[in-house]
Amino acid sequence: MRREHVLATLADTHALGRELAALVEPGDLVVLVGPLGAGKTALTQGIGAGLGVREPVTSPTFVIARVHRDGRIPLVHVDAYRLGGHADVDDLDLDASTEESVTVAEWGQGLVEQLADEHLEVRLDRRDDDVRTAVLVPHGPGWEQRLG
């Protein structure tokens, strides 16, 4: 899989999410990094679709985390924006479900990486022409091999 992607449309962002869904395994952590409007929730919607999640995947901004159990692998969708630090992440008890789920964390950089030995960081950005970009940054040999 390419490590750099140009996402000209919402459909492109969803398609990248579906590609990632084909690679993820139970216990995986995907950390989404990028400014407001960069496509973090849209990418998670694509991951959910690729996993077979039938219910709507919406931003968990105010509830912090949503669990979607109806797909091939349970999807835990976290919005870490309102979390103040590692103690807040610990309070969510996310590590209780990480082994059997895929955890996708928006705004999680520097907060959630301790939930897994390896993780995939997806750096999303929105250019001035409103086109989004994504750079996949593997952390650990498992992700290096899968993206290889």
CATH code assigned at 41:
3.40.50.300
- For the cut 60, the answer to whether the pLDDT of residue 107 exceeds it is yes
In angstroms and rounded to an integer, the radius of gyration of the C-alpha atoms of the chain is 14
Tokens of 78: 């976290």
Q: Domain tally for the chain?
A: 1
Inter-helix orientation angle 10-23/40-51, to 10°:
50
What is the rounded average pLDDT of the residues 31-46?
A: 94
> What pLDDT band is residue 64 in, cutting at 50, 70 and 90?
low
Tokens of 40: 């973090």
Domain of residue 28: give its range: 4-147
**pTM for the complete prediction?**
0.87
What is the rounded average pLDDT of the residues 40-69?
A: 87
Average pLDDT, the chain: 85
